[in-house]
Amino acid sequence: MNHVHSPWLIVQLLPTVVFVTLVLGLMFYPVRTLEPRLQPYRVLTTTAPAGGSVLYEVDACKYLDAPALIFRQLVPDRGPTINLPSTTTNIPIGCAKSLSSILIPLDTPPGRYHLELTLSYQLFGGRSISARVQTDTFTIQPPTP
């Protein structure tokens, strides 16, 4: 009698097993998002006044067709980190170099800084993956009158 019910049991359990395997795979499978080809990113504007902007070159490969929420921080050699407004970007898939810039807040103290970027990708099922990159150092001078 057990042999008669075995195919029925397999037919009933198979969709559940496939579903659980798929969900676990999506939750834990490693996903490539963004990989820098050069770290730290090269800064083209090595000196800027507070209130000015700093231009840097992004050299990275993107593997996931999804937007990223970018958290940006100015990190000084000494003193507290300055959080900058976050932004959203969706660069195309592939490897490329591009130019990007940040506006330095007017009240930024003079000194040497580097920029830290955390790119957060929201995936299926509430999963989030982050990539961190940074720039070379640059100098912030007092604002120009």
Judge whether 53 and 74 are in contact, CB under 8 Å. Answer: no
CB-based contacts of 22, cutoff 8 Å, min separation 6: none
Residues 8 and 66 in one domain: no
- What is the per-residue pLDDT across 17-61, written as a single tens digit (0 to 9) for each? 666 655 555 555 556 778 889 999 999 999 999 999 999 999 999
pTM for the whole thing?
Answer: 0.76
CB atoms within 10 A of CB 82: 17
Write the secondary structure of 79-118 as one string of H (helix), E (strand) and C (coil).
CCCEEEEEEEECCCCEEEEEEEEEECCCCCCCEEEEEEEE
Residues 41 and 3 in one domain: no
- What is the per-residue pLDDT across 103-124, written as a single tens digit (0 to 9) for each? 999 999 999 999 999 999 887 6
CATH number at residue 66: 2.70.50.70
Residues 13 and 45 in one domain: no
Residues 51 and 70 in one domain: yes
pLDDT at residue 86 tops 80:
yes
Calculate mean pLDDT across residues 54-77: 93
Full DSSP string of 31-91: ---EEESSSSBEES--EEETTSEEEEEEEEEE---S-EEEEEEEEESSS--EEEEEEEE-P
Domain of 55 in residue numbering reads as 34-141
